[in-house]
């Protein structure tokens, strides 16, 4: 009887020894991960964007409306939307100085309404509002990420609707998409 008990104790002892060994390996792996990932120098936000950990400030210039068709509110709405996007998704402080860590400048270059779906009587069934914005982005820490690019978005609407009644909603939809594209290019690098 004692022999069987010793056999059980021996088996139990070997099982506990194996668990301790696995626990030690797991602890070593977790410790290695902490050291490896703790040494990374790029800050990742919950939105998927990354900001250099040394960056503290951003300057967003007012984007003038240089399009041939002018909406008097577009310049202010676009500039404010871009600032709001940056403030809500990065730890950066917006300043009014061009020597900030990140700089956004540019202009609204296109604001057009075009027919896109013609009916049998050569009348447009749908129209398209298109807005284009040229953006110059400067990154003080990584100049290879600088860009000068035109971003364009559009929204379609029924030609049966009065444009002045839907213009504000269309403009907000397009501005939101443009600021998302610009933010992604600057901070997500897509």
DSSP codes of every residue in 17-46: HHHHHHHHHHHHHHHHHHHHHHT---EE-T
Q: What distance, in Å, lies between the first and last C-alpha atoms of the chain?
A: 72
The model's pTM: 0.73
| Mean pLDDT on 83-104 | 93
* pLDDT on residue 26: 57
Q: Is the pLDDT of residue 177 over 90?
A: yes
Whether pLDDT at 128 is above 90: yes
If residue 56 lies in a helix (H) or strand (E), which one and from where to where? none
Give domain limits for the chain.
1-40, 50-188
Task: Give the whole-angstrom CA distance, residue 56 versus residue 102.
Answer: 9
CATH 3.40.1260.10 fits 50-188, yes or no: no
Q: Left, alpha or beta for 29 (phi > 0: left; psi -120 to 50: alpha)? A: alpha
CA atoms within 13 A on the CB side of 9: 6
Split at pLDDT 50, 70, 90, the class of 124 is confident
Whether 132 and 150 have beta carbons less than 8 Å apart is answered as yes
* Lowest-pLDDT range of 94-98, 146-150, 152-156: 94-98
- Higher per-residue confidence, 50 vs 22: 50
> How does the average pLDDT of the chain come out, rounded?
82
């Amino acid at each position: 009887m004692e022999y069987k008990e010793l056999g059980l104790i021996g088996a139990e002892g070997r099982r506990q020894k194996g668990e301790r060994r696995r626990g030690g390996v797991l602890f070593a792996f977790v410790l290695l991960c902490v050291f490896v990932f703790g040494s990374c120098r790029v800050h990742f936000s919950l939105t998927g964007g990354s900001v250099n950990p040394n960056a503290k400030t951003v300057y967003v210039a007012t984007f003038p409306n240089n399009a041939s068709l002018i909406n008097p509110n577009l310049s202010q709405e676009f500039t404010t939307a871009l600032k709001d996007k940056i403030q809500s998704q990065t730890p950066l402080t917006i300043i009014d100085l061009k020597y900030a860590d990140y700089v956004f400048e540019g202009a609204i270059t296109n604001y057009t309404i075009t027919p896109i779906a013609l009916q049998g009587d050569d009348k447009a069934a749908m129209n398209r509002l298109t807005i284009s914005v040229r953006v110059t982005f400067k990154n003080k820490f990584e100049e290879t990420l600088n860009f000068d690019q035109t971003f364009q978005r559009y929204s379609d609407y029924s030609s049966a609707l009065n444009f002045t009644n839907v213009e504000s909603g269309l403009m907000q939809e397009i501005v939101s998409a443009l600021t998302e594209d610009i933010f992604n290019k600057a901070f997500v690098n897509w």
